[in-house]
Chain A
Amino acid sequence: MAEDKDRGVKFEFNVSSVPPEAKAKLRADLKKAVQDQLAAQRSQGNDADLLHSSIHSSIS
């Protein structure tokens, strides 16, 4: 659990309380999301999003 002292917002989070089956679903969902993203990018034949992110990575 962490507390944002600037806002007084309580942020609760406990990894060990997540059931294994829920974790497995999250894992499968994330894998699918990444695979879909890679497939969509491949089908579009461009890397505009890559460019954009790279540009921002150099700016602070």
Chain B
Amino acid sequence: MNDAVFEATLERVVAYCEETHTKQFCFAFHGGEPTLLPAERADRWCALATQRLQGVATPQFAIQTNAVKLRDSWIDVLQKWRFRVGVSLDGPKSINDRNRVDHRGNGTFDQVEGNIKRLIARGIPFGILSVIPLGADPLAVHNAYISLGCTGIGYILPHFTHETIHEALSKHGPTPCADFLLPIMDHWFYSGNERVMIREFDSLARLIMGGRSVVDAFGNDPFGYLFVESDGSFEGLDILRIVAASAYRTERNVFEAELQQLLNSEDLVAKSLRGDIPLPDDCAKCPEAKTCSGGYLPHRYSSDSSFNNPSVWCRDILKLFGHMRDLLDVSSSATEKLRNSISGVPK
């Protein structure tokens, strides 16, 4: 992304915050690999965003990085602007290095671990984002992440649609995500005060206690983000590319369209931003209809009925809710009462 695209984006953001009275706005750098951007440019953009949003909204900065090449100049930027740092990993060394290799074909885990130590030495907290490695030993994976010193972990349900899920289920059984996450959930619960934040568990607990999810895997809330590509085009949720390349694209860009114009259109991106994606028909009678709400949008897709399906991980999600309900001792009807008592949870 060049300066012109960022500056145009920033003008759209300022206008949006002013119009909607939004008081906090998060700029998340991701890619590809965002640390390939010169650190000096990132520093300049953060300063510019802070300056332009002064008196309008508080900017926050986040980055999702593979942490393979983390230059000192980038670490300076992360520290200076208090970035929320997410590091992508696929598991401990034996698993990660099968999938994540450098241009010479060597595993990247050792480099990532070294750079994580540099973050820690500078007092920069970081979370780990990991796609669930189906079939792996859950506590071995979890313990490896904890050992790295992260402050939080996100375990992403792998991205499949109803067109592509069959091989994974035949290889790993009917509920491989729950099989992986349930032992970790027990560990998380019984860790008490030593508990590391795990987004998915945090969200399950929040939903069961009448609140809202902080992840898209459950809850079917409006997507609270929009992507600006390096050429300035607006795009929606990039994971929708597992459905079709066109599903996440818009015909608009930062040089021509205000953010509000995007929200008012009728394409899939706008609907997902507004929260206009209805509950799948098959979920209507489910006891977790108002908590799970059909699961993550891309995971609902089939060529026959589009997004009108429960998540491919429906059985896993129900197991996760069931186990969390057991741990909390909160029934579905109790959740309903709690939800009704929390009338002011922000939309």
Contact = CB atoms under 8 A, between A and B. Distances in A.
B45 to A, nearest CB: 17
Given A30-B328, A35-B209, A50-B214, A59 B30 contact: yes
Interface string A16-41: 00100001001101110011011001
A49 B221 CA distance: 14
Interface residues of A, number: 39
B307 to A, nearest CB: 16
B23 A46 contact: yes
B216 A52 contact: no
Interface in B211-244: 211-212, 214-217, 221, 223-225, 237-239
Nearest to A26: B192
Contacts of A47: 224, 346
Contacts of A9: 143, 147
B236 to A, nearest CB: 9
Nearest to B60: A48
A26 B195 CA distance: 11
Given A13-B187, A54-B224, A6 B129 contact: no
B205 A27 contact: no
B131 interface: yes
Interface string B177-219: 0000001001101101100000100100110011110111100
A56 B156 CA distance: 10
B84 interface: yes
A39 B320 CA distance: 24
B205 A4 contact: no
B322 interface: no
Nearest to B28: A55
B144 interface: yes
Interface stretch (B88-96, B255-263, B284-292): B88-96
Contacts of B225: 51, 54-55, 58
A27 B199 contact: no
Contacts of A5: 92, 94, 140
Contacts of A3: 140
Given A38-B342, A38-B345, A56 B186 contact: no
Nearest to A46: B24
Contact of B86 (A18, A46, A56): A56
A51 B330 CA distance: 27
A34 B211 contact: yes
A38 B213 CA distance: 11
B140 A52 contact: no
Among B23, B214, B239, B329, chain A packs the most CB atoms within 10 A around the CB of B214
B344 interface: yes
A58 B139 contact: no
Contacts of A4: 92, 140, 143-144, 147
Interface in B132-151: 137-140, 143-144, 147
15 contacts: A5-B140, A6-B94, A27-B328, A30-B327, A34-B205, A42-B344, A45-B346, A46-B24, A50-B224, A51-B26, A54-B224, A54-B225, A55-B30, A55-B224, A58-B216
Interface of B: 23-24, 26, 28, 30, 60, 62, 64, 84, 86, 88, 92-94, 127, 129, 131, 137-140, 143-144, 147, 154, 156, 159, 183, 186-187, 189-190, 192-193, 199, 202, 205-206, 209-212, 214-217, 221, 223-225, 237-239, 327-330, 342, 344-346
Interface of A: 2-7, 9, 11, 13, 15, 18, 23, 26-27, 29-31, 34-35, 37-38, 41-42, 45-60
- Closest 8 A/B residue pairs (Cβ): A2-B139, A53-B214, A48-B24, A59-B64, A51-B224, A38-B211, A6-B92, A11-B143
